[in-house]
Amino acid sequence: MAPGRGINIFHVEEIRKLITNNPNEYNETQKLLIYEKTGKQILTEVGLGKTDPKSLKLSVNQLKEINNLITQNPNEYNEIQKMLIVEKSGKDILRDVGNGVQNPLAVTLTDQQLNEIKKLVESNPQNYNEAQKSLLNQKKKE
């Protein structure tokens, strides 16, 4: 889980400063707001079935670490753990945005994802809401 899930990134930095300056004034639950698990910890939890990989929102650093670990030792990880590094299809992204699971402004698309979304939305525009349609104007992954 990313630090301060549901908390604005600016608040996380402010909270981090407060807790760092006076750690004894805050309980463990409060300290979890700024704690970020390592990729290895996430892989272990997913491997033990303690965490559903579909429910995770990974930071860039976590994703890089997980990708490196799995790439270097693919036989050490099961298919569920490897799901963490599989890119979503355009259809999956449309579903997540439509269900409010993912903010369209936070999405960066590959050319393939953008093309898939474009075909789906243009073929049946009435089936998609404004948030989903806004994906057509999103930035692309480099």
Burial of 59 (0-12, 13-18, 19+ CB in 10 A): middle
pLDDT at 5: 46
Q: Across the chain, how many H-helices and E-strands are there?
A: 8, 0
Q: How many CB atoms lie within 10 A of CB 67?
A: 14
pLDDT at 1: 38
pTM of the complete model: 0.52
Which sign does the torsion angle of CA 107, 108, 112, 118 carry? positive
pLDDT tens, residue by residue, 56-80: 777 767 888 999 999 999 999 999 9
pLDDT tens, residue by residue, 67-118: 999 999 999 999 999 988 888 889 989 998 998 878 888 787 888 899 999 9
Mean pLDDT computed over 118-139: 92
